[in-house]
Amino acid sequence: MYAPLSKFWRVVLGLCTWLVVPGMAQGPPIDLRFEHLSRAQGLSNSDITCFAQDNDGFFWIGTQDGLNRYDGHQVTVYRHSPVDSTSLADNSISCLYVDRQGRLWVGTENNGLSRYRKELDRFENFPHLPEDPQSLSYHYVTSITETSEGQLWVGTLRGLNAWQPTTQDFERFFSQSSYVMAGSTLDSLVAELDTASWKSLATLREQKFTDWPDLAIAAKATMDPVVWNGIAEVVRAKVVRDFDGAYIRRLVADVRGGLWIGYEREGLAYFVPGEGVKKHYRYDPEDSTSLSHDEVYSLCLDGPWLWVGTRGGGLNRLAVSRETFERYPYPPLAGHIKEVLRDEDGIIWAGDDLGLTRYDARSNRFTRYQHHPDLPNSLSASLVNALYQDQQANLWVGCLQGGVNLHVPHQPFHSMQPLPGNPFSLTKGQVTALLHDSQGRLWVGYYQTGIDVFSADRKSRRHIPFVEGVNQGLGEGTVFRIFEDRQGHIWIGTYRGGLQRYQEEAESFISYRYDPDDPDGISGNDVRDIAEDAQGRLWLAIHGGGVCSFDPRTELFEHWRSAHHPNQRSLADDWVFCLEVDRQGQVVVGSVQGVSWLNPQDGTTRDYNQANSSLAHNRVRSMAFDGR
């Protein structure tokens, strides 16, 4: 089905496994028209992560909430069921691969690998078992590929695995370096492990890797701190060209030697070796045939079609015609809103990926703050991830690439930056969460780097790193939320690390992590938001796991899930970003399907979305009460 890759494009590191399908029309691409496949047509989720086409012609679509099989007319959805061992291993699909025998392999984020049994319409699962050294080396599968000899390789965030079909086991391989070419910390394997052509890439017969730092160019932007802008074309072990300095999510080469590039936020581009990027395609709200969203997560060539999966915009099928190109405009000034805060004066602050907005409802006036390189007192970076107001009414602003900004009322911004050799500065500039606690300490959460705790006088700093495999360590993943309850306890919400409670005296953590075998535990490891009600219960927004309430006194969880979980209390969608508790004790939830009001007393919900209300968009990432 798939043509072999040309030698020029043989090695891909950091962001994708290459897919090549013959049949694209010859000549340069001319014009694109998009057909959309979304939740309205039966797709389980609009966050598309990967594709594969099997030998029967079925198109398999991996999402953040289940696996979809598309036959050209209708969609069949496969999901994990905790009471069915032959169901899908996990609903968060990271990668798909069809081997030379026509078998579909499914990599998941939380529970290893699944193999689809077509004759039974069931799955055989291969989880990571810490006590079994012949199981998969880690639960997060990043990539799957096969050598020319038929050896199946499975990449994870913690090592590379060779499948042993006779024993149904895995042989594990690990790298001693932080720069790993095939597995471990990077997001994909090389497209073909060919030690004859690429002798220095991996000396697998000796069960060790030869690491080439020059080849470890880029990691997936949301997963690993070792991230460079863009990705490079690789010939042997030499970097020869960069692409534009933009984050690249997915790549796919066509039979002409051209390259389709899916960007983190900049849409789609077509690259020709020796000529550069020929055309660039963006979402256009005025054109229903344009790309449905600028965040491109997956690409796949299918004969004359290019399939494009987006984050939040569903699936697109692009047809190549011979008409004149049309360029698509950039989005409006204000970007995607990441965080919303109401300060003590009733001012609404909104941080997005292009800056910060201040809204005064009394005067109906908006004030925009952005990063200006020539103005030292401007915002230190454009992408705002975190907002917090302290007891003195000062606003703290965390930026993904710009550290922390302090905004004292009626004064310009003052920034805190990482300074090499200075033990009192920030550890990193990639700030994702902030808290100014009741003792005056400043807590700064980072993207994949742990937490800094600054004393009230800012003259001392303690760094708390992620520690894997230690029960009382911070765990792993990006810090999304740092929260102080009314008792003064500090709670941490993380990506991949679940919920963490800081123990002040022992300077350690109590961890609450997802266990698929524990129906009464936390429902996921991706904790995006935390709130507290009048009874002292914590409410957790779990991306992919709905909403949990947690009583710290009994350490019991209660779940609110979507209709796919019939034994749970009803929720519009499991993909929750944020929540708040209102004055009546109801919990207001923002998800990919709008806003829901949960009544903890009687278990009822009220759902609001674009279809039944004036909500501008169903994808609600942050919220704040305006005090009215």
Confidence tier at 482 by pLDDT (50, 70, 90):
very high
Q: Of 42, 30, 47, 98, give the one whose Cα is nearest residue 68.
A: 42
Residue-wise DSSP of 336-370: -EEEEEE-TTS-EEEEETTEEEEEETTTTEEEEE-
Same domain, 316 and 338: no
Tokens of 215: 């080849």
Task: Count structural domains, the chain.
Answer: 3
Q: Are 432 and 385 in contact (CB under 8 A)?
A: yes
Mean pLDDT of the chain: 74
Q: Is residue 347 part of a domain?
A: yes
Same domain, 104 and 213: yes
Higher pLDDT, 624 or 57: 57
Angle at 256 (CA atoms; ends 251, 258), nearest 5 degrees: 35
Q: Is residue 505 part of a domain?
A: no
3-state DSSP call for residue 204?
Answer: helix
The predicted pLDDT at position 451 comes to: 93
User: Residue 163: in which H helix or E strand, if any?
Assistant: strand 159-164
Q: Is residue 326 part of a domain?
A: no
Same domain, 556 and 447: no
The predicted pLDDT at position 367 comes to: 85
Q: Are 320 and 328 in contact (CB under 8 A)?
A: no
Q: Which CATH number is 187's domain given?
A: 2.130.10.10
Structural domain boundaries enclosing 48: 7-321
Instruction: Assess whether pLDDT exceeds 90 at residue 548.
Output: yes
Determine phi and psi for 204, rounding to 5 degrees: -70, -30
Higher pLDDT, 36 or 95: 95
pLDDT digits (tens, 9 = 90+) for 315-339: 677 765 432 222 222 233 455 677 8
Q: Of 226, 293, 234, give the one whose Cα is nearest residue 259.
A: 234
Same domain, 94 and 207: yes
Q: Comparing 237-241, 396-400, 456-460, which segment has the lowest mean pLDDT?
A: 237-241
Higher pLDDT, 52 or 301: 52
Same domain, 20 and 71: yes
Q: Of 372, 370, 373, give the one whose Cα is nearest residue 383.
A: 370
The residue with tokens 């496994």 is 17
Determine phi and psi for 8, rounding to 5 degrees: -60, -35
Q: Are 565 and 545 in contact (CB under 8 A)?
A: no
Same domain, 37 and 167: yes
The predicted pLDDT at position 445 comes to: 93
Torsion of CA 423, 424, 427, 430, to 10 degrees: -160
- Burial label for 162, CB within 10 Å (0-12, 13-18, 19+), is middle
DSSP state letter for 320: E
For the chain, percent of residues with pLDDT exceeding 90: 24
Same domain, 36 and 163: yes
Same domain, 348 and 311: no
Helices and strands per DSSP (H, E), number in the chain: 0, 47
Domain end: 465, 500, 533, which one? 465
Strand ranges for 273-411 from DSSP E = 276-281, 296-302, 305-310, 315-321, 337-342, 348-352, 355-360, 365-369, 384-389, 395-399, 403-407
**What's the average model confidence in pLDDT over 493-521?**
87
Q: Is residue 474 part of a domain?
A: no
Same domain, 127 and 162: yes
Determine phi and psi for 7, rounding to 5 degrees: -60, -30
Q: Is residue 495 part of a domain?
A: no
* Rounded distance between C-alpha atoms, residue 321 and residue 136, angstroms: 45
* Rounded distance between C-alpha atoms, residue 509 and residue 503, angstroms: 6
The predicted pLDDT at position 626 comes to: 64
Q: Is residue 483 part of a domain?
A: no
Q: Is residue 244 part of a domain?
A: yes
Domain end: 465, 484, 503, which one? 465
3-state DSSP call for residue 237?
Answer: coil
The predicted pLDDT at position 295 comes to: 81
Same domain, 76 and 118: yes
Displacement of CA 364 from its chain's centroid (Å) = 35
> Between the ranges 34-43, 259-268, 334-343, where is the mean pLDDT highest?
259-268
Same domain, 454 and 521: no
Domain end: 288, 321, 354, which one? 321
Q: Are 539 and 532 in contact (CB under 8 A)?
A: yes
- Return the bridge partners of 442, or none: 436, 454
Same domain, 461 and 369: yes
Q: Is residue 71 part of a domain?
A: yes
Tell me the residue type at 41. Q
